Amino acid sequence: MKASRTRSQERIISLLKHLDRAISAQDLFVELRNCDQAMGLATVYRALEALKLEGVVQARTMASGESLYSLVQEDRHHLTCLQCGGSIPIDTCPVHELEAQLNQSYQFKIYYHMLEFFGLCTQCQAADATGDTAH
């Protein structure tokens, strides 16, 4: 863990702890402004990148290309619908053993991992079957 973090990094960590959910850099920027802790958007991105490299923050890229940031806590895995963008969390992790093996074999310090499956949720499958694109 780094001994000296910037004030911006500390503010972001504090807000991510408070929110306890994944959030985009843009939304984080707005939340900070709403809490009278405004900082420039470029500063938000720089702080997130530094925290990511430190292994404190993880980024999850959505099907839309947008990244969502959260504190590294536990493994979170998802089923993500390519049509509506909905995301269903998966409760179990099938790769813990693999992570331990990779850590051992390659002497690679793993901060976190992500597992995501892409496809269509039941509502979008039903909409496709009926030809309806809205739900």
What are the extents of the domains in the chain? 1-72, 74-135
The predicted pLDDT at position 113 comes to 82
The predicted pLDDT at position 95 comes to 84
Which residues, in sequence order, are CB contacts of 104 under 8 Å at separation 6+? Answer: none
Longest distance between any two alpha carbons in the chain, whole Å? 57
1-72 topology per CATH: Arc Repressor Mutant, subunit A (1.10.10)
Low-confidence ranges of the chain (pLDDT < 70): 1-3, 74-75, 132-135
Q: Sign of torsion, CA 75 125 66 32?
A: negative
The predicted pLDDT at position 6 comes to 93
For residue 35 the two structure tokens come to 């809490």
The predicted pLDDT at position 133 comes to 56
The predicted pLDDT at position 13 comes to 94
The predicted pLDDT at position 61 comes to 87
User: Domain 74-135 is of which CATH architecture?
Assistant: 2-Layer Sandwich (3.30)
Least Cα distance to 63 among 88, 95, 30 occurs for: 88
